[in-house]
Amino acid sequence: MLRTRAAYISDWQQEYAQISTGNFHGRIDELRSGTFQVFREYSHQETYQTCQPWQHSVWFGIPAPGSGERLRFNGCAVEQASILVSPGNTDFTLRTPLGFCIYGVVLNVDDLATRCEGLLNTPLPTLWLQADAITLDAGSHQRICHAIEQLLAFTRQHPDTRCHRQHLEALADALLLGLYQGQTREAAAWPTRHIQQIEQIRQWAQTPGDNELDVESLCRALHVTRRTLQNHFQAITGMSPANFVRVLRLNAVRQALRDEQRLQQTIQQLAAEWGFFNLSHFCYDYKRLFGETPSQTRHLDLPTHPARRA
């Protein structure tokens, strides 16, 4: 069954933070059949995402034509015609640009190995079991994107058909052939330590009550110089450390405002949990980022609100 929504991918662990300013528009079209998962994800605004596919799987992400520009995968820029690879149960990060669209194919590792043996007569390459970006030729990239679009369109038109599996297997074969032709590229040397530092700061920023997150405090905690920290952040997130922390904390307050269990807390109380003690400045920054006031978020997003039920 094809599911369309503006939420999260089934069985994934995902955390999103909106980075660019304005109202957010997003959409996920997803097809799941057994151990095959195919989706198309669109986000109108720039985001910073931490994602983890389901266990014992491999995710292949294919930026749609025109969407790969300014994309960062695990902190590194990628080619326009690429397949991003990440094993299940392992985090990867995406720093997405405006108007970003990506296709995803997730396969069980054992099924992937069996299909690789049968189609290519070769064991599953280890390159396909680690985080990497594999460059494709333009023709292969276009064919894979077109195959996914056709599959999702067919499923939308024929939601009850039993032929989805055949289409999914044909797509998997096209994906494997594209990977096999592009696999000779040298694996990128991902800045793992730098990513880990930024992930640590992300976790600190989203933890309420920890307000010692100015740049000097971060440098002391991570044992790096201010210039080193600035350079790492600019390269991986495209932002300064201070802006990164501020945006993440605004996103954290937004999530709290949408939480039915926190209705008894005022906007000022929630803002203060993440270090926003000046309410007028907080409201200004919040509206500038999300295109709406904190009270509008609480009013419109809580499902128990009369306006939502109507």
**CATH code for position 219:** 1.10.10.60
Tokens of 79: 């080619």
The structural domain count of the chain equals: 2
Check whether residue 227 and residue 141 sit in a common domain: no
- Domain membership of residue 85 (yes or no) is yes
Which of 143, 164, 182 terminates a domain? The answer is 182
Express each pLDDT in 5-21 by its tens digit: 556 788 999 999 999 99
Instruction: Write the CATH number for 63.
Output: 2.60.120.10
**Residue 309 pLDDT greater than 90, yes or no:** no
Same domain, 169 and 216: no
Type of residue found at 63: P
Domain boundary among 182, 203, 226: 182
Answer yes or no: is 138 within a domain: yes
Any domain includes 289: yes
In a domain, 170, yes or no: yes
Same domain, 176 and 47: yes
Averaged pLDDT score across all residues of the chain: 86
Same domain? 220 vs 150 = no
Q: Which domain holds residue 86?
A: 2-182
Asked if residue 70 is part of any domain, the answer here is: yes
CA distance 144 to 161: 22
Residue 252 lies in a domain: yes
The 10s digit of each residue's pLDDT in 268-291 is 999 999 999 999 999 999 999 999
In this structure, are 175 and 196 located in the same domain?
no
Bridge partners (DSSP) of residue 67 are none
Same domain, 302 and 157: no
- Identify whether residues 170 and 203 lie together within a single domain: no
Instruction: Tell whether the model's pLDDT for residue 293 goes beyond 50.
Output: yes
In a domain, residue 187? The reply is no
Reported as type and span, the H/E element at residue 250 is helix 241-257
5 bridge partner residues = 28
Contacts of 69 (CB under 8 A, 6+ apart): 80, 97
Residue type, 308: R
On whether both 160 and 248 belong to a single domain, the answer is no
- Identify whether residues 199 and 178 lie together within a single domain: no
pLDDT tens per residue, range 80-139: 889 999 999 899 999 999 999 999 999 999 999 999 999 988 898 887 888 888 888 888
> How many angstroms separate the Cα of 177 from the Cα of each of 139, 151, 182, 220?
12, 18, 9, 48
Same domain? For 266 and 171 the reply is no
Confidence of residue 45 (pLDDT cuts 50, 70, 90): very high
Q: Which helix (H) or strand (E) holds 5?
A: strand 2-5
Residue type, 167: H
Same domain, 198 and 168: no
